[in-house]
């Protein structure tokens, strides 16, 4: 026979179930957003469909007035194409040319702020497959913002990528002009280096642990065009090397990329002090080259870094040429490859606590 407590319990149970159902309803309700497309509602939008270098079909609004770049190389390319006025946002790491640092920042390349990108109302966001995350691209898609991706694997593809991007952005003539110029520089370089033996080099990305570049990277390709060949024969993009292996291969030169030559020299000196590195001829004879960190970015500026490297590795190929071509961007002062032995004025970064195994 139901008592008062029983009735109270039933009422409570019914209330609980109601609350639960309410929660379930809230949980499953779709986004509150009205289903209007987020286009700038002033003019009727025109679109061009292109296929980007990652194979995705991209709807590019015409014309492209507002661009956000999510990679330093793409920012540089924008400037090279003369479109910097249309660049409304870039990443924290976009530092070249110096004017790029004044643009509105949207965060890192890997972790940009979606909100900030949306707030800038871009027509197109530029990404590159080697740096940006597919999740970012998907998120932007989801919000109705188009992104165009580049994916160059060697220097020739960097040039063609620039031309394609110029076409997408509506300035194909600028793209062709830059492409032709870069090709000319490369052709001239090939001519000078013709017949000269290529130098065996180790490109050092990081010294501890020792990381170099794989043979499929554009950096390795850049080495090749500069008359060098990377001694690292790896399928990985950033292979970790053992010092023993490097000593066995004995590269002719070590190559560093640095923002300025002082830093590059410092890198070498620090490295030379480390245990085991004296086993390398290149270290003992101070045969190293420092080039600008433009070599790390798949942008037009890489060609000037290639030329710079060629100068340092094959100085004989550049002697007595009256018409030194105008370079795209002034390179850092070239570092001569052989230096007097008593110039070390540094404090060793590490003390040698272990005896060299070699």
Partner 1 sequence: MRPLTLGRLLTHCALLSAVLFVVVVIALKLGAVPVSLYGLGHDLLRVLFRQASQLSSEYQLIIFDIRLPRILLAIFVGASLSVAGASFQALLRNPLADPYVLGVSSGAAVGAIIALIVEPHLSLAPAVAALLTPVGAFLGAALTVTAVYFLGLRRGQIDSATLLLAGIISASFLQAIIMFFMSTLTGGNYRGIAFWMMGELQTPPPRIVSLILRIGFFLAAGVIYTTASDLNLLLAGENEAMHLGVDVRRVRLVVYIAASLLTGLAVSVSGAIGYVGLLVPHVMRLLFGSDHRILLPTAAFGGAIAVVVADTLARTVVSPAELPVGAMTAIAGAPLFLYLMRRRLA
Partner 2 sequence: MSSYARSASALRPSGDAGDFNSDVRLSVEQVSYAYSANPTQAPLFTLEATSFQARPGEIVAILGPNACGKSTLLKLIAGALHPLSGRVLLNGFITHTLPHRARGQRIAMVQQESPLLFPSRAWEFVLQGRHPYGRTLRFESEEDITIVRNALAQVGAEHLSDRFMDQISGGEKQRVILARALAQQPLLLLLDEPTLHLDIGAQVDLLETLRRLAAANRYTVVVVTHELNLAGQYADQVALLQKGKCLRVGPPATVFQRELLEQVFQTPLTVELGSSGRPRVSMPSEK
Name the site residues for partner 1 (rule: CB under 8 A): 12, 20, 23-24, 27-28, 30-34, 36, 38-41, 92, 105-108, 110-116, 118-119, 121, 129-135, 138-139, 141-144, 214, 236-238, 240
Is residue 1 close enough to count as binding partner 2 by CB under 8 A? Answer: no
Minimum CB distance to partner 2 smaller for 13 or for 196: 13
Q: Are strands 199-204 and 147-150 parallel, antiparallel or unpaired?
A: unpaired
Is residue 5 close enough to count as binding partner 2 by CB under 8 A? Answer: yes
Compute the least distance from the CB of residue 141 to partner 1, in Å.
Answer: 7
Residues 6+ apart with CB under 8 A from 5: none
- CA–CA separation, 169 vs 86, rounded Å? 10
Compute the least distance from the CB of residue 24 to partner 1, in Å.
Answer: 6
Is residue 173 within 8 A of residue 163, CB to CB? The reply is: no
Chosen from partner 2, partner 1, none, partner binding at 276 (C-beta under 5 to 8 Å by type) = none
Chosen from partner 2, partner 1, none, partner binding at 144 (C-beta under 5 to 8 Å by type) = partner 1
Compute the least distance from the CB of residue 25 to partner 2, in Å.
Answer: 21
Minimum CB distance to partner 1 smaller for 134 or for 196: 134
- CA–CA separation, 96 vs 290, rounded Å? 18
The binder of partner 2 chosen from 16, 110, 338, 358 (CB under 8 A): 16
List, as one string, the DSSP characters of 300-346.
Answer: TTHHHHHHHHHHHH-GGGGTT-S-PPPPSSPPPPPPPS---TT----
Minimum CB distance to partner 1 smaller for 28 or for 345: 28
- CA–CA separation, 70 vs 31, rounded Å? 28
Is residue 9 close enough to count as binding partner 2 by CB under 8 A? Answer: yes
Minimum CB distance to partner 2 smaller for 17 or for 51: 17
Is residue 327 close enough to count as binding partner 2 by CB under 8 A? Answer: no
| Residue 350 DSSP symbol | S
Q: What does each C-alpha distance from 288 to 100, 257, 275, 313 come to in angstroms?
A: 31, 11, 18, 9
Is residue 225 within 8 A of residue 189, CB to CB? The reply is: yes
| Residue 351 DSSP symbol | -
CA angle 294–295–296, rounded 5-degree value = 90
Chosen from partner 2, partner 1, none, partner binding at 105 (C-beta under 5 to 8 Å by type) = partner 1
Is residue 184 close enough to count as binding partner 2 by CB under 8 A? Answer: no
Chosen from partner 2, partner 1, none, partner binding at 330 (C-beta under 5 to 8 Å by type) = none
Rule CB under 8 A: which residues touch partner 2?
5, 9, 13, 16
């Amino acid at each position: 026979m139901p008592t008062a407590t029983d009735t109270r319990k039933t009422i409570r149970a019914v209330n609980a179930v109601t609350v639960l159902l309410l929660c379930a309803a809230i949980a499953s309700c779709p986004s509150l957003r009205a289903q209007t497309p987020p286009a700038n509602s002033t003019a009727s939008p025109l679109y061009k469909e292109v296929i980007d270098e990652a194979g995705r079909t991209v709807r590019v609004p015409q014309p492209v007035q507002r661009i956000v770049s999510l990679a330093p190389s793409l920012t540089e390319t924008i400037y090279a194409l003369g479109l910097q006025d249309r660049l409304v946002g870039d990443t924290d790491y976009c530092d070249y040319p110096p004017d790029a640092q004044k643009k509105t920042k949207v965060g890192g390349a890997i972790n940009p702020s979606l909100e900030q990108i949306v707030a800038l109302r871009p027509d197109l966001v530029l990404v590159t497959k080697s740096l940006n995350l597919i999740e970012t691209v998907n998120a932007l898609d989801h919000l109705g913002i188009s992104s165009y991706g580049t994916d160059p694997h060697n220097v020739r593809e960097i040039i063609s990528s620039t031309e394609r991007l110029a076409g997408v952005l509506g300035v194909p003539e600028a793209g062709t002009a830059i492409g032709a110029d870069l090709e000319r520089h490369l052709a001239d370089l090939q001519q000078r280096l013709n017949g000269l033996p290529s130098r065996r080099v180790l490109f050092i990305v990081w010294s501890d642990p020792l990381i170099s570049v794989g043979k499929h990277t554009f950096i390795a390709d850049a080495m090749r065009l500069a008359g060098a060949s990377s001694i690292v024969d790896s399928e990985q993009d950033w292979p970790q090397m053992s010092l023993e292996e490097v000593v066995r291969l004995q590269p002719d030169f070590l190559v560093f990329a640095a923002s300025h030559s002082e830093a590059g020299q410092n890198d070498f000196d620090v490295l030379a002090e480390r245990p085991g590195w004296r086993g390398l001829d290149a270290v003992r004879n101070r045969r190293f080259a420092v080039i600008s960190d433009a070599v790390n970015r798949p942008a037009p500026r890489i060609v000037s870094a290639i030329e710079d490297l060629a100068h340092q590795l094959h100085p004989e190929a550049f002697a007595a040429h009256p018409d030194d071509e105008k370079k795209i961007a002034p390179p850092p002062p070239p570092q001569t490859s052989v230096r007097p032995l008593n110039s070390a004025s540094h404090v060793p970064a590490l003390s040698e606590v272990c005896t060299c195994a070699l």
